[in-house]
Amino acid sequence: MDASLAALAEILPPDLGADERIDRRAAEARWGTRLPRDYTAFMSVYGAGSFSEVGVLMPLPPREYPLWCPGTFEEETANARYTWEMRDGQADPGIDPEHILAWGVTSGPDILCWLTADPEPDRWPVLVCGRHTDDVFTLFDCGMVEFLRRLVADEHDTYPLSVDIRGGSHRYVHWLEEQRRRLAEVDPDTGLPWALSSPEDWS
């Protein structure tokens, strides 16, 4: 585990994550680029999933799933690019919407993206397409894992999301574990029976 991922793991435990075993060759063929190393490292430890209304997407859909197909880059990338194009001339003319690639989403609903203009994926900054943020698009000069670490630690100079997750506890849950819990009719976030899922009942 590299330093940035280890720092995230200290405040967002990966014990309910799983190695996504991404087919990198297929992903690169679909998106025409190598993915950032911090993203592929994250996917080998956490996998796709969610925490506190923030979800991390897969580059390609899995071959099978118990209930529904988890989110992939495809739909949210199209949504973010469309939003950029519909800004009625307010968009930065130096940015091609084809350089927007989504890797995450929130319940806001915000779309978390990379700006992929740099030919070196490890230098891609994070671009947030916000639903209820001050600006529709905000650029953050850091990679995906560092963006998440700052989010969980509440260290962003400008809070990046429409949904406020500050001040709470955070637990990452892999998409497959969430679907297993739903099949077992327990709370997907806590793993407890629904009747015991509120914090005041945990003692």
Domains annotated for the chain, with CATH where assigned, are 3-201 (3.40.1580.10)
Q: Determine the Cα–Cα distance for residues 99 and 159; give it in Å rounded to an integer.
A: 23
- Rounded distance between C-alpha atoms, residue 84 and residue 75, angstroms: 14
pLDDT of residue 88: 58
In this model, does residue 81 exceed pLDDT 80? yes
> First vs last Cα of the chain: how many Å apart?
34
Residue 21 · residue 40 · CB < 8 Å: no
* Sign for the pseudo-dihedral over CA of 1, 70, 103, 108: negative
Q: Which pLDDT value is given to residue 167? A: 86
* The pTM of the whole model exceeds 0.85: yes
Mean pLDDT of the chain: 89
Contact in structure between 103 and 113 (CB atoms under 8 Å): yes
Q: How far apart are CA 1 and CA 3, in angstroms?
A: 7
Read off the amino acid at residue 62. Answer: P
Residue range 130-178, pLDDT digits in tens:
989 888 899 999 999 999 999 999 999 999 999 999 988 899 999 999 8
pLDDT at 107 over 60: yes
CA distance 103 to 84: 16
Residue of 17 and 182 predicted with greater confidence: 17
- Under the banding of pLDDT at 50, 70 and 90, the label for residue 196 is low
Residues 141, 186: Cα–Cα separation, whole Å: 39
Q: Does the pLDDT at position 125 exceed 50?
A: yes
Instruction: Please report the pLDDT score of residue 200 as a whole number.
Output: 45
What percent of the chain has pLDDT above 70? 91
